[in-house]
Amino acid sequence: MATAIAECYKRLAFINPALKKLNALKVLYACFQVPYFDPDRLVSGAEKKAGEITSITKIDLFFTLFEDLYNFNRKEKKPLEFDARTAMHNKRLIKSKK
């Protein structure tokens, strides 16, 4: 999974340097925890909206941006932001029980 995350992050950063932030990597990791997540779909959306992506730093904005990119021009919209946040929340709960 780490290799897949790194490859996707590299592709996103190449498309737009605004996506080369630590918080973008954190959100990408969260997205990879979602069973239906397809990194190629995210990259495709980023390619299509590359000129519209502005520099952001807040993690909340990256969650929203990634969902927008993931669902761009798609008939079937996915609640990626909610699902990624939920997956990360559940993962933290599991870690805190140790």
pLDDT tens-digit readout, 72-82: 999 999 999 99
Q: What are 4's two structure tokens?
A: 């897949």
Q: Which two tokens stand for residue 23?
A: 């918080």
Question: pTM to 2 decimals?
Answer: 0.86
Count of residues in the chain = 98
Give the tens place of pLDDT for each residue, 1-36.
899 999 999 999 999 999 999 999 999 999 999 999
Q: Which two tokens stand for residue 37?
A: 């997540």
Domain count along the chain? 1
**Domain containing 36: what range?**
2-96
28-55, pLDDT tens digit by residue? Answer: 999 999 999 999 999 999 999 999 999 8
The string of DSSP letters for 51-98 reads GG------HHHHHHHHHHHHHTT-SS---HHHHHHHHHHHHHHHHHT-
Closest among 19, 20, 74 to 44, alpha carbons compared: 74
Per-residue confidence (pLDDT) for residue 98, from 0 to 100: 44
